Amino acid sequence: MTRRLRPEDAPTYRDLMLEAYAAHPDAFTSSPSERQVLPMAWWEGRLSTDTHANECVFGAFDASELVGVAGLSFQTREKLRHKCSVFGMYVRPSHRGHQLGDGLLCAVLNVARQRHGVSLAQLTVTEGNRAAVALYERHGFVTYGIEPQAVAVPSGAVTKLHMWLPLRA
């Protein structure tokens, strides 16, 4: 089951994201150390159910266990309001290969398409993450740029692909 997360899901969402940051430091721009100190109110705020919230997060569940997430952030500045960004996409390794990523991506893109004035979605993905790139390409995303040394990690720096998807025909 996939559904929009609510503020009461914040502790479980926080735990899953801290797991993701630790397990895949090259995939995320946030680190466990900088996010674990944030108050629970920050995590709850990200999960607002207001239909006009600037962020929303969907979760994939196996029974009652949260096993995957994907977020969507809307731009608020006047000249950028036509854009949104997919962020924080993660599915536990034990649950990969069951199309949970497809379901999460569909959920956030459906919200993006329903938002008045939003005409494109963007995201970044670590170069070499073939599974993630394939997922995004299946949904119509195309690469429009490559950012060398985009994220510093203990082993060096990783390159990010910038991808976009037009939401309107």
Task: Give the pLDDT score at 155.
Answer: 87
pLDDT for 11 beyond 90? yes
Q: Which helix (H) or strand (E) holds 108?
A: helix 100-114
- In our burial notation (b when 16+ CB lie closer than 10 A, e otherwise), range 84-97 reads bbbbbbbbbeeeee
Domain boundaries, the chain: 2-166
Instruction: Say if CB 158 and CB 127 are below 8 A apart.
Output: yes
Q: How confident is the model at residue 154 (pLDDT cuts 50, 70, 90)?
A: confident
State the fold for domain 2-166: Aminopeptidase (3.40.630)
Alpha-carbon gap, residue 27 to 163, rounded angstroms: 15
Q: How confident is the model at residue 22 (pLDDT cuts 50, 70, 90)?
A: very high
Alpha-carbon gap, residue 47 to 10, rounded angstroms: 7
Instruction: Kindly report, residue by residue over 26-82, the tens digit of the pLDDT.
Output: 999 999 999 999 999 999 999 999 988 999 999 999 999 999 999 999 999 999 999
Quick one: 61 exposed, middle or buried, by C-beta within 10 A (0-12, 13-18, 19+)? middle
Amino acid at 142: V
Task: Give the pLDDT score at 113.
Answer: 96
Dihedral Cα 158, 104, 42, 122, nearest 10 deg:
50
Task: Give the pLDDT score at 51.
Answer: 85
pTM: 0.95
Instruction: Kindly report, residue by residue over 83-102, the tens digit of the pLDDT.
Output: 999 999 999 999 999 999 99
Place of tokens 């963007």: 122
Residues 6+ apart with CB under 8 A from 159: 126, 127, 146, 147, 148, 149, 150
Task: Give the pLDDT score at 165.
Answer: 98
